[in-house]
Amino acid sequence: MNQPLVTFDGVVKRFGDFTAVQQLDLSINAGEFIAIMGPSGCGKTTTLRMLAGLDQPTEGKIHIDGQLMNNVSPHQRDTPLVWQSLALFPFLNARENVEFGLKMRNQDAATRRKKAMDWLERLGVGEFAERNVETLSGGQRQRVALARSLVTEPRLLLLDEPLSALDAHLVIRMQSVLTRLQRELGITFVYVTHSQSEAFAMADRVVIMSNGEIAQIGQPRDIYREPANQFVAEFVGRNNIISGTVTGVSDSNLIIQSELGEFTVSDHNKVTAEGKDVTFVIAADLVEVSRSPMNKANSVECTLISEEFVGSVVTLFLESSSGTELKVQLQERELSTLDHTAGGAFYLGWDSDSAHLLPA
Amino acid sequence: MARTNFSGFATTWRMPIIVWQVLFFLGPLLFMIAMSFFLVKNYRMVEAFELKNWEKMLTRGYFWDSYILTFWLASLTTAVTSLLAFPASFALAFKVSPSVRRWALFFLIIPFFTSYLVRIFSWYVILAESGVVNALLAHIGLGPYTMLNTKFGTLVGYMTLTLPLVVVLQTFALANIDRNLVQAAHNLGCSPARAIYAVIVPLAKTGLIVAALFCFILSFGDFVSPYYLGGSKPPTLPILIIDTTKSGQQWPRAAVVAVVMMLTLISIAFAALALAYRKRASR
Amino acid sequence: MSGQQSTTSTSIGSRLLDWSLRGYVVLVFVFIFAPILFSVVFSFNSARFPTIPLESFTLHWYQTIWNDPDVWTAVRNSLIVSVCTALIATLLGFCTAYTDYRYNFRFKSAYLALVLLPPTIPLIIMALAMLAWFSKIGASGQLWSIIIAHSVLTAPFAMAIIRLRLNQMDRDLESAAWNLGASEWRTMREVIVPFCKPAIVSALFLTAAVSFDEFAISWFVSGLNKTVPVLILEIVQGNIDPQVNAIGTFVFLVSMTLVIVAQIFFTFRAGKSFS
């Protein structure tokens, strides 16, 4: 693994007065599954479109496989894109849609047909080959679109929120289809999404963008456990973010005074001095909850506001006496021991190691 | 999407209509305006820049008779057609199912693209002294009435041309109104008749005015109805253009009439559009 | 929909009003279609001056026009003119519709005005302007002078129809084709044109219909090359001649067929959008 497959060097993209992407530096390795995530308007789709050549960078350079791509037209690249809208050609049937890229590469009809059928079958939609794409279901159309992009055997596949139009149960199915395909083919996936669950479930690395800039790059676990800044901590969600002032430093621990009370947070870098304002994050699933006071380094007494069930995971929304909202995530079976329907106080607690101090 | 640098592809699609319209639309119109200043000597047109034709035409009583008649007829047609079309458009917009409305519009568009000339000839036969209408009326002991060579005849002809289009445009305007607003008016105790006047017409104003504008333009420029059904005495402006061009070989004078017509229509169009898009004054 | 509401909330009075409104619509349709209907009926009627009660059924008027070489020449001229007009106007309309769909540029509103204005100018004025211009450039009295003038007149209709179709196209479709290796030109051939096909067919038929019926400009610029409407105009200028009903019926038949085919392609094929 020597040279990265894709590099962005100081790439800027402006549309008139609007800067969609500012100063983007990013390398993507061959065979990597990378997800670019962020709220709408953060520049993630523009980044993808620049890879496909549909938008040209205003400044900076994009290399693919060592070749400068800035002035290469879209049709001269081999960077197929799976569109959010799928963009299947409505006047062609499923097989003809898949053959399109091969036809543009002037392959003969028999080869085209064979490759198209192979891919449709591999993705489990071979039986619909001669059907009008408009008569297919969302999931089937999705597979046809994937087949159409993969049939030319590209080294790089771009995906622009491909699952956003699907029902929840189909999303999970397609996620495993995609990850399996990526492993089997060993090609690079660049996957743009606003869905954290999709990005974290599939990607090797996640790029989080905000206002045209990269907010953090890292493996899903790192981003989750150690957000680089408040934006990422909030965007990733299910984090409790607490701000306060350092009132004491002992060993690698900080004593932080906030309106919620006093907390102890590990500071392995030992760079924070007394009197400084700091923010730390405690992930909702690292908070323990009980009906009796806890013997933990940090604890808060709260009342329960509401609960939210997603599958077997429950999120409790609680409020401290100072009016701050806190979140706790736990397995549904743990909930039964809490007797959560009864009123009264809940006690939250966590170890000082569990909290993550945001870099100043 | 648009590339800023030169693209042969973009130019290929953009240029044909520009070239075509400049050569065969702007060219003719501008030349006609220029022609209104030409002279005719010994039955031959001489390129010049003289105000003679303008003087000749604008000082003649018959020109102004024609102008007033044409303007009056077109205004009358616009008012009558708009009023007669409205109940039908109202019914098509609010009182029938969407599929009935689609079919009705489908059939209303057909006559717009079929021979107007033959339809007028047909009216000529129907409205004649011994025609179908008078024959029917005779059965109930009425008539015969003279309908040809009257303003009534002209009006029928103009309406043949304009009524389908006005109904189509009005129906679109009315069908696009937010139904909730109408319901709200009813809810607030507005009677159905009052709702038409106070809610529906103001909301559909732009569309209704555009329909009326098209009606005016079409009847102002038509020569067939006033000629065959109206008797052309005095001639309307379009008939004046034909007479001046075809019999007198006085193309420059015909051009004067045409330019006056265009100026009139442009003023009317601007006035109508200003009215249509004016913000409603608070009352 | 309104039927359900009226049963719950209303009196016989408003029911009556609804039905009289519907009756009124029927009257409007009678007015609009009466001349067409009478023309067809009278074309089979033996009376020299058509009225009611009808006289006997006859094909005499059709025989008369069938045996009239002038009619045949006019039909031939009309067919040539409308076919050529349809092709030119639809091509121009397509180029313009695509330009409007794809590009933004300075003076675009002036560009669109230049394209869309001709139908709002009275035909008689266009006729005079065309006549003068064609004699100036030495091109009057030819069939193709009519074709050129008709193309100017009908291109906006073609443009509008094709533009509406392009509106239904997924914005990503064109980019998707580029992305799969098609150049802009190839994309035009493989994606845009196939997508617009129903609208293109519709535009061809509709522009042909408009051209087939146009008489003012044709009359001014045609010289000796009369088209069918010009022939009708000249017959009508003479006397009442039921031949006109026969020719008229033929003209109605042709243009109605063209318009209906155009509408079928437009509403039923193009209307089917994908979501």
Give pLDDT tens digits along chain C (275 positions): 344 444 445 577 778 888 899 999 999 999 999 999 988 998 898 887 777 778 888 888 899 889 999 999 999 999 999 999 999 999 999 999 999 999 999 899 999 999 999 989 999 999 999 999 999 888 878 899 999 999 999 999 999 999 999 999 998 999 999 999 999 999 999 999 999 999 999 999 999 999 999 999 999 998 888 999 999 988 888 777 788 889 989 988 898 899 889 888 887 554 444 33
- Beta-carbon separation of A100 and C175 below 8 A: no
Model confidence over B221-248: pLDDT tens digits?
999 999 989 887 789 999 999 999 887 6
Model confidence over A12-59: pLDDT tens digits?
999 989 999 999 999 999 999 999 999 888 999 999 999 999 999 999
Q: How far is B283 from chain C (nearest CA, A)?
A: 30
**Three-state DSSP string of C55-102:** CCECCHHHHHHHCCHHHHHHHHHHHHHHHHHHHHHHHHHHHHHHHHHH
- Beta-carbon separation of C232 and B115 below 8 A: yes
Residues from C contacting A (CB-CB < 8 Å) are 170-173, 175-184, 186-187, 190-191, 194-195, 197, 274
Res B12 pLDDT > 70: yes
In B204-243, the residues whose Cβ lies within 8 Å of chain C are 217-218, 220-223, 228, 238, 241-242
Q: Among partner residues C182, C194, C197, which is closest to A104 by beta-carbon distance?
A: C182
Both structure tokens of A83: 């569109």
3-state secondary structure of C173: helix
- Beta-carbon separation of C194 and A91 below 8 A: yes
Partners of residue B91 in chain C, C-beta under 8 Å: 18, 21-22, 24-25
ipTM, two decimals, is 0.90
Q: Which residue of A has its CA nearest to C197?
A: A91
Q: CA A91 → CA A97, A131, A147, A148, C274, distances in Å? A: 9, 11, 17, 15, 10
Query: How many CB atoms lie under 10 A from the CB of residue A308?
Result: 11
CB pairs under 8 A between A and C: 69
Q: Indicate the residue type of B12.
A: T
- Beta-carbon separation of C184 and B9 below 8 A: yes
Partners of residue C126 in chain B, C-beta under 8 Å: 28
Partners of residue A103 in chain C, C-beta under 8 Å: 190
Q: Which residue of C has its CA nearest to A157?
A: C179
Q: How far is A168 from chain C (nearest CA, A)?
A: 19
- Beta-carbon separation of A79 and C179 below 8 A: yes
pTM of the predicted model as reported, rounded to 2 decimal places = 0.87
Q: How far is A267 from chain C (nearest CA, A)?
A: 49
Model confidence over B112-147: pLDDT tens digits?
878 898 899 899 889 988 888 888 888 888 878 888
Model confidence over B186-218: pLDDT tens digits?
888 887 778 888 888 888 999 999 999 999 999
- Beta-carbon separation of A87 and C191 below 8 A: no
Q: Which residue of C has its CA nearest to B242?
A: C124
Which chains contact C through at least 3 pairs of Cβ atoms less than 8 Å apart?
A, B
What order do you get walking across the sheet with A67-68 strand by strand?
Answer: A18-28, A6-15, A59-64, A67-68
Burial-class residue C66 by CB neighbours within 10 Å (0-12, 13-18, 19+): exposed
- Beta-carbon separation of C36 and B221 below 8 A: no
Model confidence over B29-74: pLDDT tens digits?
999 999 999 988 877 888 888 898 899 889 988 999 999 999 999 9
Q: How far is A338 from chain C (nearest CA, A)?
A: 48
User: What pLDDT does A127 receive?
Assistant: 95
Fold of B60-276: MetI-like fold (1.10.3720)
Mean pLDDT over each residue of chain A, to the nearest integer? 89
- Beta-carbon separation of C95 and B13 below 8 A: yes
What order do you get walking across the sheet with A346-350 strand by strand?
Answer: A288-290, A346-350, A298-310, A313-320, A325-331
Fold of C68-269: MetI-like fold (1.10.3720)
Partners of residue C95 in chain B, C-beta under 8 Å: 12-14, 16-17
Q: Which residue of A has its CA nearest to C181?
A: A75
Q: Which residue of C has its CA nearest to B238?
A: C124
- Beta-carbon separation of B113 and C206 below 8 A: yes
Q: Which residue has the higher pLDDT, C9 or A224?
A: A224
